[in-house]
């Protein structure tokens, strides 16, 4: 009896994989070339910033949009748009 149950489980997993493979053939997942983060928003600063200075920034934000941009070569760029809520820390690196 144990062999039968084991065989049924393997058949079920194989069937699930077959269904998944068929679904991907009909509607393949897009090939992602790049993942890009775009940040919008503004914050008040305590001090001036020096032009050309490399900065480390810690911020808190909310993801407001995700989209796929077609590269017209069979691949896509995935763009994440983040709205900055607060600026936690900014310092020269």
Res 58: pLDDT: 96
Please state, in angstroms and rounded to a whole number, the distance separating the CA atoms of residues 86 and 41: 9
Please state, in angstroms and rounded to a whole number, the distance separating the CA atoms of residues 58 and 86: 9
Among residues of the chain, what percentage have pLDDT more than 90? 52
Q: Alpha carbon of 34 to those of 18, 29, 81: distances in Å?
A: 30, 15, 14
Residue pair 42/87 in contact (Cβ under 8 Å)? The answer is no
As a whole number, the mean pLDDT across the chain is 84
Res 27: pLDDT: 63
- Which residues pair with residue 63 across a beta bridge? 82
Instruction: Reply yes or no on whether the pLDDT at 78 is more than 90.
Output: yes
- Total Cβ atoms within 10 A of residue 35: 10
In tens, the pLDDT along 31-65 reads 889 999 999 999 999 889 999 999 999 999 999 99
pTM of the complete model: 0.63
Higher pLDDT, 9 or 41: 41
- Which residues pair with residue 32 across a beta bridge? 76
Number of domains in the chain: 1
Query: Sorting pLDDT into bands at 50, 70 and 90, what band is 74?
Result: confident
Domain range for residue 40? 2-92
């Amino acid at each position: 009896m144990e062999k039968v149950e084991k065989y049924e489980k393997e058949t079920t997993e194989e069937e699930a994989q077959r269904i998944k493979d068929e679904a991907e053939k009909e509607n393949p997942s897009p090939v992602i070339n790049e993942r890009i983060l775009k940040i919008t928003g503004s914050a008040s600063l305590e001090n001036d910033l020096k032009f050309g200075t490399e900065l480390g920034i810690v911020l808190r934000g909310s993801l407001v949009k995700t989209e796929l941009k077609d590269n017209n070569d069979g691949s896509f760029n995935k763009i994440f748009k983040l709205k900055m809520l607060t600026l936690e820390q900014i310092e020269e690196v």
